[in-house]
Amino acid sequence: MIAFDRVTYTYPGATQPVLRDVSFTVAQGEVALVVGPSGVGKSTLLRCLNGLAPHFSGGTLTGKVLVAGLDPVRESPRGMSRHVGFVFQDPEAQFVMDRVEDELAFALENAAIPLPEMDVRVETLLHWLDLAPLRARALTTLSGGEKQRVAIAAALASHPAVLALDEPTSQLDPQSAKEVLAALARLNVELGLTIVLAEHRLERVLPFADRLVYLRGLEAPVVGYPEEVLPHLELAPPVAVLGKALGWSPLPLSIEEALPFVQKMAVGEGEISPAILPHGGFPYLTTEDLTVVYNGLPAVRGVSVALYPGEVVALLGRNGAGKTTLLRALVGLVHPQEGKVRLGVRNVARLDVAEVCRQVGYLPQDPNALLFADTVLDELYITLRNHGLAPEDLTLAPETLLARLGLADKAQTYPRDLSVGERQRVALAAILVTQPGALLLDEPTRGLDYEAKQALLALLHEWRSAGMAILLVTHDVELAAQVADRALLMEAGQIVREGTPGAVLATTPLFHTQMARLFPGKGWLTVQEVLRYVTSPNGGIAPRA
């Protein structure tokens, strides 16, 4: 179905090719997973499938691409649109119409498909992706997962044989992501659709994959069955990491595949590290019985929390649980109906937002809303100017801060030319340049690849040791397990559980890490924790550390 033969592709004006000698084949009905760090050419590879590269982006392509027997370069994207459906990262950026049905019909109208056939096709699409109940809804009223399903249905409108998806779940919360991937798996099984998927949250998609294409930048790509490629991957999901450490073969791709190995092991009782809550000093930020009404509904109801210097607190909860509203209330962007927010001893409601934010850094979900200057360094100076500060007032010069964030060589770059991870660090720098004592992060790992996530983790550890109070809103349980000292679980506007990450995460099935699911009831969350108790490569029990 798909054949790449020594494909090399260079963007216009670039000195280095982004794809170098890539060769692989995908048979009909297979799911191929394209992995690799960001900026390595995953998106470009997908765009070669339907001729967007080079027709849309320019550049030179050598080698041979064949998709459904056609050469995309010769056919152009218009010709390929009947054979390859394409789904992009951000579902909203692909919509032309404002209603579900109309969006599905758009491509059909465009191709002048007669009405009776169009009706049949729209009904089929609605059925395939379970969208029938949503057919007359406005797209703006849908959740992220529903939107992405509409985008997939729209891409399938012309009945293509191949569906290419460019990180379709990176902007979604875990439930929505699961929903989208389940739909894809069904399409693959029921329709025999060939799927090519770029993704960096491997733990979710590995179980479906028939084939892996691991792009490594300058090194030659590794292509093959997942079991063959997985040992090469540095960014494997936790089960695979554990499997590698314990010498399991073949490497498990999912919890299900790992269970037989676990059953053969005699696993001793783990001990959860006792809840040492660092409640030594005076809290930096506190809420007292906070209630916030947002859009006419109580989004936060009677929340009392405290954030202490030198700790990382993870705030977990489903979409719409009120996490973001709580963060916004903490810095005074929304005003509480009842209760108070205190910054030290001062009431936040009495302070200017700007004044609060000089002491409490708040990074909103979308870093793009912050950035608008011509250079990265300018972004930092704009914040300083806003606060009426001069660089001389600071103990940490803006240039040094950039260097700490690994952006030293990007100081003069246009922020919008950077990758998602880099943009986010620029936004962080623009927030942190005033050296606040607390930092509130809203979904900071959304859209980040493994390396960017590790970089962020390292920074969080460093700042915590320096005494910063950090509150982290996240869906990423693996991250929370690795970094948090304390976890809060929010449901319907209330804090329903609070304690060490082990206590909170291990007892809430929705927020189990892979290790917690593999070893239920033990209270182990990360591979490191498991390895502390289980080190024998043959599956024996290790002596207690």
Partner 1 sequence: MKDRKSILLSSLIYLITNLVGLVGFFYPFFLPLLSADRAQAASPWLMTLLVGFCFVALLLEVQGDALNARFVALLGVLVALNAVLRFIETAIPGPGGFSPIFFLILTTGYVFGARFGFLMGALTLLVSALITGGVGPWLPYQMFTAGWVGATAAGLRVFRLEGRRGEVALLVALGAVWGLFYGMLMNLYFWPFAAGLGDQQWTAGLSWIAGFQRYAAFYVATSLAWDIVGALGNVLLLSFFAAPTLRALRRFRRRFTFIYQAEAL
Partner 2 sequence: MIHATAWYIWLLAALSVLLGTRNPLYLIVLLAEMALVVEALYAPTGEKLRAPVAPGRFALFVVPAGALFNVLTTHTGATVLLRLPEAIPLLGGPLTLEGLVYGAINGLSLAALFTAFTVLNLAVPIRDLIRLAPRAFYPLAVVVSVAVTFVPTTLRQIQEVREAQAVRGRRMRGLRDWLPLFMPLLIGGLEHALQLAEALTARGFASSDAPFDAPRDQGVRYGLLGALLLLLTGGLLRLAWNLQVWGWLLMLLGAVLFGWALRRAGRSAPRSTYRRIPWTRADTLITLGAALTVIPLWLRAGAARLYSPYPALTLPLFDPWVGLAFLGLTLPVFQLYRARVAAAGAAL
Query: In the complex, which residues of this chain contact partner 2 (CB under 8 A)?
Result: 50, 52, 55-56, 76-78, 81-82, 84-86, 88, 90, 92-99, 101-102, 105-115, 118, 122, 139-140, 154-155, 157-158, 328, 331, 333, 352-354, 357-358, 362, 364, 366, 368-372, 382-383, 386-387, 416, 430-431, 434
94 binds, among partner 1, partner 2, none (CB under 5 to 8 A by kind): partner 2
- Residue 36 to residue 344: CA distance in whole angstroms: 44
Residue 253, Cβ density class (10 Å: 0-12 exposed, 13-18 middle, ≥19 buried): buried
Instruction: Tell whether residue 73 is a contact of partner 1 (CB under 8 A).
Output: yes
Which residue lies nearer to partner 1 by CB, 60 or 400?
Answer: 60
| Exposure string for 58-77, b = 16+ CB within 10 A, e = fewer | ebebebebebbebebeebeb
For residue 131 the two structure tokens come to 């969208």
Paired with 312 in beta bridges are 470
Which residue, 76 or 365, is less far from partner 1 as judged by CB?
Answer: 76
Check: CB of residue 272 under 8 Å from CB of residue 505: no
* Residue of 45, 29, 447, 9 lying closest to 223 (CA atoms): 45
Query: Per-residue DSSP letters for 473-509?
Result: E-S-HHHHHHH-SEEEEEETTEEEEEE-HHHHHTT-G
**Separation of alpha carbons 154 and 127, rounded Å:** 13
User: Residue 39 CB, nearest distance to partner 2 (Å)?
Assistant: 17
Contacts with partner 1, 12-41, as mask; x by CB under 8 A: x-----------------------------
Structure tokens belonging to residue 41: 């050419």
Q: Which amino acid is at 413?
A: T
Task: Give the per-residue contact string, 379-418, with partner 1 (x = CB under 8 A; - = no).
Answer: -----------------------------------x-x--
Contact flag: residue 85 with partner 1 (CB under 8 A): no
To the nearest whole angstrom, how small is the minimum distance from the Cβ of residue 298 to partner 1? Answer: 27
Contact between 60 and partner 1 by CB under 8 A: the answer reads: yes
Please select the residue that binds partner 1; options are 28, 58, 127, 397, rule is CB under 8 A: 58
Residue 374 lies near partner 1 (rule: CB under 8 A):
yes
Which residue number, 78 or 544, has a Cβ lying nearer to partner 2? 78
Stretch that binds partner 1, among 54-62, 117-125, 392-400, 473-481 (CB under 8 A): 54-62
Residue 232 and residue 38 in contact, taking contact as beta carbons nearer than 8 Å: no
The smaller minimum CB distance to partner 1, of residues 282 and 414, is found at: 414
Closest CA to 470 of 305, 330, 308, 328: 308
For residue 422, the minimal CB distance to partner 1 (Å) is 17
Residues 28/192, Cβ–Cβ less than 8 Å:
yes
Total interface residues for partner 1 by CB under 8 A: 11
* Residue 249 in the binding site for partner 1 (CB under 8 A): no
CA–CA distance, 215 with 223 (Å, rounded to integer): 8
* 73 interacts with, out of partner 2, partner 1, none, CB within 5 to 8 A per kind: partner 1
Q: Is residue 54 at the binding interface for partner 1, with CB under 8 A as the rule?
A: yes
Residue 533 contact among partner 2, partner 1, none, beta carbon within 5 to 8 Å by kind: none
DSSP-assigned beta bridge partners for residue 10: 60
Which residues neighbour 322 within 8 Å (Cβ) at sequence distance 6 or greater?
A: 292, 299, 300, 301, 490, 492, 493
Q: Does 265 bind partner 1 (CB under 8 A)?
A: no
* Residue numbers at the binding site for partner 1 (CB under 8 A): 12, 54-58, 60, 73, 374, 414, 416
